[in-house]
Amino acid sequence: MDLARTYLSNTQIHMTTGALTKVRPDWGGTNIIQGENVLYFFLEGEGWLKINNIEYYPVPGELFLVPAGTRISCSTSETHPFLTYWCHFTATVGENNLFDLLITPHSIAMRNDETIKKQFQELITQHESDGLAAPFIVKSLLFHMMSRFIERSTVDPLQTASIPSVHKLYIVLQYIEKHLTEQMTVEMLSQLVHFHPKYFLHYFKSMLGVSPIVYINKKRMQKANKLLLHSDMTIAEIAEQLGMQTPYLSRMFKRFTGFSPNEFRQQHRMSQRL
């Protein structure tokens, strides 16, 4: 699960369009394949959705996710058509669609529909805004809405295994995790997945957003952080456990945290006394 979290934390999200719509009585279609992910939040009306051959009858306060590539059929009541918030968005991790890697529910009954209504309205307002902060607010709101589905999801082992780029990444990340105290080079890691070193560098950065060496150092600093907070090991002992020289550990740790290892430990101990 830690490897999955590491990979999924690099998700990139982009909203393309959205609105609050009272659909036409003839709204709908059969066997439509969605080109982008779609969120629906139904406020009123009657009708049905058929997602991957499963029929749903949305009720007010229900949030729906239709991932890109999903086959959907839908229709609404002629006398009581749907009123719904909706938005189209992309969500990718490296070269892959996020929802190709997860098994998620298609619908969630929201307990506090006023909150989600306000979030959708803010999402649409900010998407149409020219404000400097608007793109950040849009991404934040979309991530929050998506998280409702992701926290109820599981990583699809068959899907991740069947996507070569993801499977190869997991091989590399597992190796790094098991050999964190050893010296690792790009050439060594590239051989694990039979890539040329130059291509491997590009591949790794496209998947995780950082180079292999930066990723390895980050993992080492995370481990150093835990040892500083939860053990009485000296800085030299921690450096030895991480396979690093003490001065190099101190420089690297300060680069990542802004504190030397000793300063970091002292700050934590002082905060514990407050």
- 3 falls in which pLDDT band (50, 70, 90)? low
pLDDT value of position 164: 73
> Could you tell me the pTM of the whole model?
0.71
Highest mean pLDDT among 8-12, 91-95, 122-126: 122-126
Contacts of 58 (CB under 8 A, 6+ apart): 40, 42, 47, 48, 49, 64, 82, 84, 107
Is 27 a residue whose pLDDT tops 90? yes
Q: Which amino acid is at 134?
A: A
Is 169 a residue whose pLDDT tops 60? yes
Is 134 a residue whose pLDDT tops 90? yes
- Pair 55, 36: CB distance under 8 Å: no
- 7 falls in which pLDDT band (50, 70, 90)? confident
pLDDT value of position 9: 80
pLDDT value of position 158: 46
∠ CA 246-179-248, nearest 5°, is 15
- 261 falls in which pLDDT band (50, 70, 90)? very high
C-alpha dist (Å) from residue 230 to 83, 162, 253, 264 = 53, 39, 16, 12
Phi, psi of 181 (to 5 degrees): -85, -5
Q: What percent of the chain has pLDDT over 90?
A: 63
Is 112 a residue whose pLDDT tops 80? no
Can you tell me which residue has the tokens 């609105």? 19
Distance CA 123, CA 126 (A): 5
Q: What stretches of 77-150 adopt beta strand conformation (E)?
A: 83-93, 96-97, 102-103, 107-109
Locate 189 and state its tokens.
């890691």
Distance CA 23, CA 41 (A): 13
Once rounded to an integer, what is the mean pLDDT over residues 116-134?
95
The string over 33-65, giving b where at least 16 C-beta atoms fall within 10 Å of a residue's C-beta and e elsewhere, is eeebbbbbbbbebbbebebeeeeeebeebbbbb
pLDDT value of position 47: 97
- 75 falls in which pLDDT band (50, 70, 90)? very high
Once rounded to an integer, what is the mean pLDDT over residues 85-90?
97
| CATH no. for 163-273 | 1.10.10.60
pLDDT value of position 220: 93
Fold adopted by 10-156: Jelly Rolls (2.60.120)
pLDDT value of position 273: 61
For CATH 2.60.120.280, the residue range(s) in the chain are 10-156
Once rounded to an integer, what is the mean pLDDT over residues 252-259?
90
pLDDT digits 0-9 by tens, 148-164 = 998 888 765 545 555 67
For CATH 1.10.10.60, the residue range(s) in the chain are 163-273
Residue 144: how many other CB atoms lie within 10 Å: 12
pLDDT digits 0-9 by tens, 179-214 = 998 889 999 999 999 999 999 999 998 888 889 999
